[in-house]
Structure 1
Amino acid sequence: MTTLKGMGDLARLLKESWTLVEEHQDKVAGYFYARIFLSHPALRDLFPVHMDVQRSRLLNAIVTAVQTLDDPEKFDEYLKALGRDHKKFHVEPEHYEVVGGALIEAMRAHAGEEWGVEYDQAWADAYAVIASRMIAGADADTNPPYWYAEVVAHERRGRDLAVFTVQPMQQLEFRAGQYLSIECTKYQPRLWRTYSMANAPRRDNTLEFHVRSLGAGWVSSALVRRLQVGDMIKLAAPMGTMNLDRRSTRDAVFIAGGTGLAPVKSLLEELTRYNRTRWVHVFFGAKSRDDLYDLADLNRLAARYPWLSVVTACSEDPTFPGEQGNISDVVARYGPWNNHDFFVSGSGPMVKSTLKTLAEMQVPSVRIKYDSFTDMN
């Protein structure tokens, strides 16, 4: 296995050089893809017709890899998972060399005069490791590149929200709290977006998803407005580490914003199968009461399991009879939370503000797991 020599020094060079191009991320990404497609036109077919979101995904992956370099275990785990995930694009080992060259060229082109040969070398060294870990992750994975699944139920829960269930054609193993990428093959081919499962693994192998159509989101709009029972979609390998630790005896707090409720529902379903000793508090926030789309089912769970309590809040609905304000502020009004495990799921801004609140309440970061959905899905 390739190793990183002088890890601290390499991490410093990567972060230094990234600051030179950070403000020009869109230009870097545009140049990067232009280089790839000009030099290897056949690779264009691996990518979606609409490249806007794909650009941000590449840069998010690069930034995450660079930021986790100081934590070798997390770095390794992230890249192997990324490699497994890229099997769905039919990426071959030889493609990595093309991508690495284009990436360094794109950064050099937009970094200005401060870019030096040491930055070239740092990125070449780091990319060699990134590529080798991703290839190793893909090679070690015995799963298919993706699973076909049939839509067996589809229910609109509002103008821009749907809850639907699919039946994979082959066994798909995952853990409660994970997410995967979906391709809506019939309506938006080659466009993949990530969504969390809203259930724990079931004997019938079905998966439930909660999707809100976001602005110009190509995939989410198709999944909400066009998907029908009987349609086939593709599912990529499950990812994510927002899972329950069965060894923990601490009480738990789940904080969900909007469709961030999906992984929380997944974790709750797992808890219903074995929990007898842990109190579990769910805080579910939305802008208005109409956005509390799954409250009836949450309340049914709370009525059935004495260890579960549910608190709801609306930030822009003054007539709502429950709590008022952002869900992170509502959580702060309850407590104390000194000895609890936390699970946070929702939009990027919601997760960021909740993590800030928990830090102010001196909740140790090691007790917080979270999923942030920042992409325009």
Structure 2
Amino acid sequence: MRRSVAVVEPQAEELAVYFYAILFVRYPEVRSLFPENMDVQRDRLLRALLRIVDLVDSPEHLAQFCARLGRDHRKFGAVTAHYGAVGECLLETLARFAGPAWTPEIALAWQRAYGIASETMILAADDDTRLRPAVWNAQIVGHRHLGNALAEVTVATDPAYPYRAGQYVSMETPWRPRVWRHYSPANAPRSDSTLTFHVRHVAGGHVSHALVYRARIGDMLRLGPPEGDMVLSAPSGRDLLLAAGGTGLAPIRALIEQIANDPHRLQGRHVNLFVGARTGNELYGLDEMLRLSQRHHWLTVRAAVSHEHIPGAEGSLPDVIAASGAGAHTEAYLSGPPGMVAAARQVLLRSGLPPAQIHHDPLGVPVLDAPLDPGHPEKEEDNRI
């Protein structure tokens, strides 16, 4: 399987185009499950194939990955019959692009692997159906601009949306049907079942542009099931280090709110919050966190600005964390741009912090890149904040 993927990987773009072309021609009923613009979806196909091959020697982690993928596909409307159609077209596509490297042995290996993966996805989706909806309808009940292309969007769901502070949510908007983007609630669960998201418009981001500039109170969104394991662990006596870059402050803010709502969770521990951005204008939410620290003696807040000279706050977030002297007595939670998270993680590892005490969301497409095994580390990017 690895040999065949190595052969077709240089042809990834053409392979994906061909796969979806024959899938939609043979099974036109599945076209409605996919977004109009297929560019991102084609990349996801290769990611999934590479992840399956990466985990093929670890049945436990392969099953975990496929189960997560199966549960996630419920929100797209995938049903059992679709898996056979996808498998048929996928294997034919791999055979075409692998050429002479596609031996009977490799074909049999892929047939077995796809059969196991699809069966695991189907069973996980069926089990999930008995536990919760595939999606939650969410009405916008609050919308305000925070400046610097940032908006605070509050939604109410019915039924109530079950999640834990620190998790993230996939969201679909009416302006880009079947295009899902991930955002983290900026609040701990509330009794009124509302969730607040902080959304920054990014260049070329059609979903973020709509949520910041087009969305209005009364508009309806759809939310997929909660994901992510960046939730507060059981009290351990260790101090907490929270680091947030940009809108990565949202889930960190939710964790702080959970602690403030349940101070017994601290048990004498201190919380050190580091908020980072490239410029002072991008350093949103700092004033609110500073006010919170004045009300709660257990919270200390420090800012870091990497691309502007601001006395007392100059430096990249990973460098400021390194200078703080955090050691093995710390439990760390990191959220923000992938490069920042990767760099901060390396700083903490070098300081002696065990990997099990460093928590963060996946660095890429969450379902495809969620960590399963320390032996399969995430790709790290040199993109510091």
Please give the TM-score of this superposition, normalised by the length of structure 1.
0.88
Q: Do the aligned residues in 1 keep the contact of 2:173 with 2:207 (CA within 8 Å)?
A: yes
Is 1:117 aligned with 2:104?
yes
Tell me the CA shift for residue 95 of structure 1. Answer: 0.5
Tell me the CA shift for residue 15 of structure 1. Answer: 4.0
Name the CA distance, whole Å, in 1 between partners of 2:172 and 2:134.
12
Which of 79, 83, 91 in structure 2 is aligned with 1:104?
91
Q: Do the aligned residues in 2 keep the contact of 1:197 with 1:208 (CA within 8 Å)?
A: yes
**Residue identity matched to 1:369:** H
Name the CA distance, whole Å, in 2 between partners of 1:46 and 1:293.
37
Tell me the CA shift for residue 74 of structure 1. Answer: 4.2
Q: Do the aligned residues in 2 keep the contact of 1:252 with 1:280 (CA within 8 Å)?
A: yes
Q: Which runs of 5+ in 2 are unaligned?
A: 366-385
Which of 122, 127, 152 in structure 2 is aligned with 1:163?
152
Name the CA distance, whole Å, in 2 between partners of 1:105 and 1:361.
50
Q: Do the aligned residues in 1 keep the contact of 2:138 with 2:220 (CA within 8 Å)?
A: yes
Q: Do the aligned residues in 1 keep the contact of 2:148 with 2:281 (CA within 8 Å)?
A: no
Matching residue of 2:315:
325
Post-superposition Cα deviations, 1:212-253, rounded to whole Å, max 9, x if no partner, equal 222212211111111111111111111111111124332121
User: Identity over the aligned pairs, expressed in percent?
Assistant: 41
Matching residue of 1:9:
none
Is 1:60 aligned with 2:51?
no
The number of aligned residues is 361
Output aligned runs, 1:73-152, within 5 Å.
73-111=60-98, 113-141=100-128, 142-152=131-141
Which of 271, 279, 283 in structure 2 is aligned with 1:280?
271
Q: Which runs of 5+ in 1 are unaligned?
A: 1-13
Is 1:212 aligned with 2:197?
no
Q: SS at 1:243's partner residue?
A: coil
Name the CA distance, whole Å, in 1 between partners of 2:115 and 2:172.
29
Post-superposition Cα deviations, 1:85-131, rounded to whole Å, max 9, x if no partner, equal 21111110110111122223333333454443333333322222221
Name the CA distance, whole Å, in 1 between partners of 2:228 and 2:116.
21
Name the CA distance, whole Å, in 2 between partners of 1:107 and 1:311.
52
Is 1:190 aligned with 2:194?
no
Q: SS at 1:323's partner residue?
A: coil
Post-superposition Cα deviations, 1:318-371, rounded to whole Å, max 9, x if no partner, equal 2x2343232112211111322211212222222222223333333221221211
Task: Identify the range of structure 1 (128-137 vs 320-329) with the bigger mean alpha-carbon deviation.
Answer: 320-329
Q: SS at 1:285's partner residue?
A: strand
Matching residue of 1:200:
188
Which of 338, 343, 350 in structure 1 is aligned with 2:340?
350
Is 1:265 aligned with 2:250?
no
Q: SS at 1:228's partner residue?
A: coil
Post-superposition Cα deviations, 1:50-80, rounded to whole Å, max 9, x if no partner, equal 1122222333334344434555544433332
Name the CA distance, whole Å, in 2 between partners of 1:128 and 1:112.
22
Name the CA distance, whole Å, in 2 between partners of 1:258 and 1:69.
36
Change (3 A) 1:111 1:300: farther
Name the CA distance, whole Å, in 2 between partners of 1:30 and 1:16.
21
Tell me the CA shift for residue 373 of structure 1. Answer: 5.2
Task: Identify the range of structure 1 (21-30 vs 363-372) with the bigger mean alpha-carbon deviation.
Answer: 21-30
Q: Do the aligned residues in 1 keep the contact of 2:152 with 2:197 (CA within 8 Å)?
A: yes
Name the CA distance, whole Å, in 2 between partners of 1:189 and 1:113.
40
Matching residue of 1:47:
34
Name the CA distance, whole Å, in 2 between partners of 1:175 and 1:92.
28
Please give the TM-score of this superposition, normalised by the length of structure 2.
0.87
**Residue identity matched to 1:314:** V
Change (3 A) 1:247 1:27: farther
Name the CA distance, whole Å, in 1 between partners of 2:337 and 2:150.
15
Change (3 A) 1:108 1:189: same
Q: Do the aligned residues in 2 keep the contact of 1:347 with 1:374 (CA within 8 Å)?
A: no
Q: Do the aligned residues in 1 keep the contact of 2:169 with 2:227 (CA within 8 Å)?
A: yes
Post-superposition Cα deviations, 1:246-305, rounded to whole Å, max 9, x if no partner, equal 243321212221111111112222222233322111222111111111112211222222
Task: Identify the range of structure 1 (273-282 vs 191-200) with the bigger mean alpha-carbon deviation.
Answer: 273-282
Is 1:239 aligned with 2:219?
no
Is 1:34 aligned with 2:34?
no
Tell me the CA shift for residue 37 of structure 1. Answer: 0.7
Task: Identify the range of structure 1 (22-31 vs 123-132) with the bigger mean alpha-carbon deviation.
Answer: 22-31
Change (3 A) 1:361 1:94: same
Tell me the CA shift for residue 27 of structure 1. Answer: 2.6
Name the CA distance, whole Å, in 1 between partners of 2:153 and 2:257.
17
**Residue identity matched to 1:265:** R
